């Protein structure tokens, strides 16, 4: 793994978050290697297929939701007791602007991201009494190889060039540029800072 090579002093475990047994093994490794758990960042995701709804295979639908939605549930299910035992902490769910806007030809991905909204809001109300904050970050279009692949697939679906398709994407963004991964990392770090619960008042657990 590149991460292990670049950060030899840090632990790393390879896991498919859509598989329950692999998530269990991941958190067993965390429990063995660390004194506890304070923060969970749910960041795993896949782009899923691009195509008309009648052309999307059930296996592709299931694999997209398994990673983008079920994977977050499986990780929180194991992390929440550990964070509770530590006296509280933070869960950050990464999803997407696709969780607020539907996208043609991206139904599995968009559906999974909409599901994360309900997951996050429900967890915030459930876990707030345990001093566990649950937040979500909704990036727009993130620069990188995955988005390049999405643009190429959508361009093919629309019968246009990848360059023209990218220009259409950027035209809908106020800054006319994609989000850098470093921007997202900075947003994740912000709620990880020490905080005092009295600043925020009582938690609404309705």
Whether 109 is catalytic is yes
Phi-psi region of 131 (alpha: psi -120 to 50; beta: other; left: phi over 0): left
Q: Answer yes or no: are the C-beta atoms of 70 and 18 closer than 8 Å.
A: yes
Coil vs helix vs strand at 142: strand
Q: Which residues contact 83 (CB under 8 A, 6 or more apart)?
A: 37, 38, 39, 40, 89, 90, 91, 130, 132
Q: Which of these is catalytic: 103, 109, 169, 199? A: 109
Helix pair angle (107-127, 58-65), 10° resolution: 30
Catalytic residue numbers, as ranges: 109
């Amino acid at each position: 793994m590149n991460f292990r090579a670049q950060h030899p002093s840090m632990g790393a475990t390879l896991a498919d978050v859509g598989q329950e047994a692999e998530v269990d093994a991941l958190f067993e490794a965390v429990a063995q290697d660390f004194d506890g758990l304070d923060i969970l960042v749910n960041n795993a995701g896949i782009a899923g297929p691009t195509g008309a709804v009648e052309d999307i295979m059930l296996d592709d639908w299931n694999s997209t939701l398994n990673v983008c939605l079920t994977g977050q549930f499986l990780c929180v299910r194991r992390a929440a007791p550990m964070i509770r035992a530590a006296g509280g902490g933070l869960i950050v769910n990464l999803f997407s602007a696709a969780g607020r806007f539907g996208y043609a030809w991206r139904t599995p991905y968009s559906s999974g991201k909409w599901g994360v909204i309900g997951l996050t809001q429900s967890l915030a109300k459930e876990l707030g009494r345990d001093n566990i904050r649950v937040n979500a970050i909704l990036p727009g279009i993130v620069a990188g190889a995955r988005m390049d692949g999405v643009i190429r697939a959508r361009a093919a679906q629309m019968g246009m060039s990848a360059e023209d398709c990218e220009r259409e994407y950027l035209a809908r963004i106020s800054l006319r540029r994609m989000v850098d991964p470093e921007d997202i990392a900075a947003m994740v770090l912000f709620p990880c800072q020490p905080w005092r619960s009295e600043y925020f008042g009582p938690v609404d657990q309705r």
